[in-house]
Chain A
Amino acid sequence: MSAILKMNAPTTTAAADPASAYVRIANLTKKFGDFVALDNVSLDIRRGEIFCLLGGSGSGKTTLLRTLAGFESPTAGTIHIEGADMSAIPPYERPVNMMFQSYALFPHMNVEKSEMLDIVKMGGFGARKPHQLSGGQRQRVALARALVKRPKLLLLDEPLAALDKKLREHTQFELINIQQRLGVTFIVVTHDQEEAMTLGQRLGVMNHGRIAQVGSPCDIYESPATRFVADFIGSVNMFEGRVSEAEPDGVRIECGELACALRVQRAVSCTRGATVWTAIRPEKINISRQPPAQAAGADNAVRGTVREIAYMGDLSIYLVQIESGKVMRVTLPNTTRGAERPIARQESVWLSWHGSSAVVLTE
């Protein structure tokens, strides 16, 4: 029952409460010649939240941001901010500021003094010109400049993309901190899913100019709505199969790629005989030398041979070839320093997972 609620929650709550829609994007379409950059996008952004638009290159996320800023005019559809139609409002009159991916700092101007510089911890740098700053400092100045007019809505285009990994992680938390102190609504465009999941209270995954799914990071990761989302966020083992039994609390799926039947203990709206895809995250799979409790021939357990092991430090990735020939990806955290007898390559192992760990996707 809880699974049903969870799966429905992200798509309904935002639309059900119009008062919470601070930014309302309705049926927005943007075409560049024949290319459809935005395809009938509808999206509500709540006041004071950090909303991350996540997608690959060409997914339309940057076009959506630029349309919000007013740099692109939509081919069709509307944008309302606090109930005001933005269609005829030029960029210089919108209650919106943007932090550009390139930072777009004016090379011939000084940073200038501003209280915002203190907020981004750049207080003493007012006399500098952009070329006298490091990459991280430029990023801070760009953020301060975007905040200086105290916008209610701040658009951030890949704000951390130009920073190195360590600095990026540190800056992520700082961004959240600043956002909470100032109470600004953030819309962040990023191609980096980790960044999106750390920053965003809600994510919108975009694909081919459409919003594929909107939800909390947990919703998106644990309950992806489509194969694209499941595959795009994190890694996943995907099996095509046919529904053999549809029960109120779950389904049984026959799958040619697996030696076992799949039993998924989640409510799925599908009929017997329908073709579905089952997605299982690598970290939700157990790997063992001994047959699992459910034993051979049981559901959700399969034999295989370890083909590759990638030691990543905090976790290890195992590529296991199951009997059908398909290779499954399994990750295990390295909870102890040097296990006594670690699983080695070419070893024969059992893979098993809990019935509630898999997700059934119909599209």
Chain B
Amino acid sequence: MARLTQAAGRRLVAGVPILWLLLLFLIPFIIVFRISFSEVRLAIPPYTPLISWRHGAPSLELYGSAYSFLFTDPLYISSYLYSLKVAAVSTLCCLCIGYPMAYAIARSGAASRPVLLMLVVLPFWTSFLLRVYAWIGLLKNTGVINNALMYLGVIHHPVALLQTDFAVYIGIVYSYLPFMILPLYANLEKHDMALLEAAADLGARPLRAFLRITLPQSFAGILAGSLLVFIPAVGEYIIPTLLGRTDQLMIGRVLSDEFFENRDWPVASAVAILILLLLVMPIMLFQRLERRQLEAVK
């Protein structure tokens, strides 16, 4: 009896997240996938049905026009590539800034560590949207940065900071930095200090010990942090919309415009499916690498 309830309990614990993923991920995905193979029409819903009755017989209506459209209009390809570039550069910046911070926190005293971690997480206490808006106030032509530089005499005319790639990078790096720091910290904090001592003992100077011992061992943390930044950055909508260029859209903005402005659900769905494909591949790669790392540690 006890074993029965235990088995039932185990099934329940595993079942809830599976059900959650089924209802809120798999089913919406199937719906979007299905819409991406229809054509737009003026109706409610604004796309052709999957099965239509023609001469009394059901016929399957699948169209690839949404996908072929994505590859004929250069707007989509360039938005994809631009999004990948922005995400990649932002991830690299987050890594370069986040790694030293995570390292410093992991090596700081046991008493100051919780405080430092708290400071990393502190920005989340303010609305994300508000924080991005605040950057407009800092970056615009009459904003804090330009005003300060002009007052100091460094520049005589305002420098265009807002609506540039630079502004998007600042926004993304600023917003996603904690997602880089936290997994890196979790990794670096677990490192065995005796390994660094052993490296020093064998004649490695601190830089060499870092490159040969700490860096390779923190690979899983680098990968986790990079994916946590890269994946949401590719589909980022708010930051490029508020801070970014108007002549070059990111794919998240394109998706939203197709959906809400053009009411072209099939093309919007096709864009969404392609983003997903673009992102699923690095996730799968990550999981494979992580599994290999785990095996190595065992």
Contacts and interface: CB of A to CB of B under 8 A. Distances in A.
Contacts of A102: 192, 194
B197 A71 contact: yes
Interface in B238-293: none
Contacts of B205: 92
A106 interface: yes
A108 B198 contact: no
B198 A106 contact: yes
B202 A149 contact: yes
A108 B202 contact: no
Contacts of A146: 201
A90 interface: yes
Given A129-B296, A131-B298, A106 B213 contact: yes
How extensive is the interface on chain A, given as a class?
A: 20 to 34
Contacts of B217: 107-108
Interface string B197-214: 111111111000000110
Given A106-B195, A106-B213, A108-B217, A91 B296 contact: no
B194 A104 contact: yes
A64 B213 CA distance: 26
A125 interface: no
Interface in A78-118: 90-93, 96-98, 100, 102, 104-108
Contact of B197 (A104, A105, A145, A148): A104
A91 B216 contact: no
B31 interface: no
B213 to A, nearest CB: 6
A100 B297 contact: no
Interface string A124-157: 0000010100000000000001101100000000
A107 B217 CA distance: 8
A69 interface: yes
Given A104-B192, A104-B194, A131-B296, A98 B201 contact: yes
Interface string B207-236: 000001100110000000000000000000
Contacts of B213: 106
- B interface secondary structure, majority: helix
A107 B296 contact: yes
A108 B216 contact: yes
B111 to A, nearest CB: 13
Interface residues of B, number: 19
Contact of B201 (A92, A106, A107, A131): A92
B62 to A, nearest CB: 49
B218 to A, nearest CB: 11
A157 to B, nearest CB: 10
Give the one of B199, B202, B203, B297 with max A CB within 10 A: B202
A107 B297 contact: yes
Nearest to B201: A98
Contacts of B195: 104, 106
B194 A91 contact: no
Contacts of B297: 107, 131
Contacts of B298: 131
A92 B194 contact: no
Contact of B200 (A91, A129, A131): A91
- The winner among A69, A105, A108, A145 for most chain B CB atoms within 10 A is A108
B192 A91 contact: no
A71 B212 CA distance: 19
B86 to A, nearest CB: 32
B211 to A, nearest CB: 12
Interface of B: 192, 194-195, 197-205, 212-213, 216-217, 296-298
Interface of A: 69-71, 90-93, 96-98, 100, 102, 104-108, 129, 131, 145-146, 148-149
5 contacts: A70-B200, A98-B198, A100-B198, A104-B194, A104-B197
Given A98-B198, A104-B197, 9 more contacts: A69-B197, A69-B201, A91-B201, A92-B205, A96-B201, A98-B197, A106-B213, A149-B202, A149-B203
